[in-house]
Amino acid sequence: MHTDHNNRNHRAVPPPTRPDQVLLIGLVWCGLLGLGLLLGVRIGYSQPVPQQGDHAGLVVQFGDGRIITECVKLEEKGWSNAEELLIAASLDVDIAVVPGSASSVCQIDTEGCNTDPDEGDTRQCFCQCPDANSCQRWLYYAFEQGIWQRALHWESMIKPGHVVGWAWGDQDTTRISKSFAFEEICPATTPTPTGTLTSTATVTSTASTLTPTATASPTSMATVTPTSTMTSTATITPTLTTTPEAHTGAPRQPRRQRRRMTQVPRQPAVLRLRQQQHPR
Burial of 80 (0-12, 13-18, 19+ CB in 10 A): buried
Lowest mean pLDDT among 9-13, 41-45, 130-134: 41-45
Instruction: Find how far residue 89's CA is from the centre of its chain.
Output: 21
Residue 127 has pLDDT above 60, yes or no: yes
pLDDT (0 to 100) of residue 16: 58
pLDDT value of position 131: 83
Q: How confident is the model at residue 256 (pLDDT cuts 50, 70, 90)?
A: very low
pLDDT at 70: 97
Comparing 150 with 10, the larger pLDDT belongs to: 150
Nearest to 234 by CA among 32, 22, 21: 32
Contact, 237 vs 198, CB < 8 A? yes
Q: Which range among 51-60, 121-130, 131-140, 267-276 shows the weakest confidence by mean pLDDT?
A: 267-276
pLDDT given at position 121:
72
The 10s digit of each residue's pLDDT in 50-100 is 455 799 999 999 999 999 999 999 998 888 999 999 999 999 999 998 777
CA distance 237 to 135: 70
With left for phi above 0 and alpha for psi between -120 and 50, is residue 40 left, alpha or beta? alpha
d(CA 88, CA 77): 14
- Residues 221, 9: Cα–Cα separation, whole Å: 9
pLDDT of residue 1: 53
Q: Is the pLDDT of residue 206 over 90?
A: no
What DSSP element (H or E) covers 40? helix 19-40
Lowest-pLDDT choice from 58-62, 95-99, 107-111, 263-267: 263-267
